[in-house]
Amino acid sequence: MPETYPAYLDLHRSGELARRVEAAVARLSDCVGCPRRCHADRCSTNPASFCKTGRHARVSSCFPHHGEENCLSGWNGSGTIFFAHCNLGCVFCQNYEVSHLGEGREVLPGELAAMMVSLERRGCHNVNFVTPSHVAAQILEALPAAIDEGLRLPLVYNTGGYDSVETLRSLRGVVDIYMPDFKFWDERVAQELAGAADYPEVARAALREMHEQVGDLEIGAEGLARRGLLVRHLVMPNGQAGTRQVMRFLAQEISVNTYVNIMPQYRPAGTARRHESIRRGVTFKEYEEALKIAREEGIQRLDVR
């Protein structure tokens, strides 16, 4: 198999991708595509959906990103497409203008396909869909045209972890690399900081499905990720993320070989300062403790910067 062989080509050749596109787009008229299950008609002019996204995706930016994990960014960058709005809405989001305020523009399927192809032509190592959970149908819809124009890059599903298992199953054989966050373990924290008390349960089910589809992260001879699961975990002040429980779950219920990026860059962005527990940044001691916990719980494949 070639180094950059993507998972979706066989689906396209067989006609299965077209069938999935048709089904995914049809479901937008009564949308239950994410755990919010709004039942909104996203084909209407003003859809009453949590994600504030209608028939077409909104894109904030599209560029080669050199700040992702080394196995994604490589030397030419990870080809990121940042989608506007979000189905989670964390109060501390560092991209608040994009995720909450919807900064960006609506794009038609052909335009989204052209963005994917342009990233490949610029030498990117993958196409990295950032915050894709609410626009999985639109990504699927754009993919056939991108393939016809020559797209052959691995696809990265860079998500907050609040994903419907049903939607993920529609992406089987499409996504090569799943890159979810696991943000919170405690339901009360998830409710306060994201308005989603079911986040821990949803994330656990989503990660199980992702790993079942793609397995542990495979990194090729050149140091680039080819396929598999990469989990991000943001260290938060005062233990709000539940790091020990998250690492224990990954080691015991996903795989001890799970590739994990424990991230220290939390800062009180968005409306975080309204919440006593997360008004400050993370200390170096808290970050070091999170790394220690991961190793104690059996996680050894930690991203190194």
Of 94, 95, 117, give the one whose Cα is nearest residue 104: 95
Distances (CA, A) of 214 to 13, 53, 168, 200, 217: 20, 28, 12, 21, 8
Report the pLDDT value the prediction gives residue 304, as an integer from 0 to 100. 79
φ, ψ for residue 127, nearest 5 deg: -110, 120
Please give the DSSP secondary-structure letter assigned to residue 74. T
Report the pLDDT value the prediction gives residue 7, as an integer from 0 to 100. 81
The percent of residues in the chain predicted with pLDDT above 70, rounded, is: 98
Distance of CA 238 to the CA centre of its chain: 25
Report the pLDDT value the prediction gives residue 118, as an integer from 0 to 100. 98
Residue with tokens 């032509």: 121
Q: Are 175 and 157 in contact (CB under 8 A)?
A: yes
Does residue 205 surpass a pLDDT of 50? yes
Kindly report, residue by residue over 274-292, the tens digit of the pLDDT. 999 999 999 999 999 999 9
Which comes out higher in pLDDT, residue 305 or 217? 217
Report the pLDDT value the prediction gives residue 69, as an integer from 0 to 100. 97
Q: Are 129 and 81 in contact (CB under 8 A)?
A: yes
Domains and CATH numbers, the chain: 9-296 (3.20.20.70)
φ, ψ for residue 273, nearest 5 deg: -70, -10
Span 199-209, mean pLDDT?
A: 98
What is the Cα Rg of the chain in Å? 18
Report the pLDDT value the prediction gives residue 45, as an integer from 0 to 100. 82
Does residue 58 surpass a pLDDT of 60? yes
Kindly report, residue by residue over 142-179, the tens digit of the pLDDT. 999 999 999 999 999 999 999 999 999 999 999 999 99
Kindly report, residue by residue over 23-39, the tens digit of the pLDDT. 999 999 999 999 999 99
Kindly report, residue by residue over 100-150, the tens digit of the pLDDT. 888 999 999 999 999 999 999 999 999 999 999 999 999 999 999 999 999
Report the pLDDT value the prediction gives residue 159, as an integer from 0 to 100. 98
Which residues share a beta bridge with 218?
A: 227
Does residue 71 surpass a pLDDT of 70? yes
Q: Are 161 and 212 in contact (CB under 8 A)?
A: no
Q: Name the pLDDT band for 52 (thresholds 50, 70, 90).
A: very high
Question: Distance (Å, rounded) from C-alpha 267 to C-alpha 240?
Answer: 13
Kindly report, residue by residue over 2-19, the tens digit of the pLDDT. 444 788 999 999 999 999
Kindly report, residue by residue over 214-254, the tens digit of the pLDDT. 999 999 999 999 999 999 999 999 999 999 999 999 999 99
Report the pLDDT value the prediction gives residue 19, as an integer from 0 to 100. 98
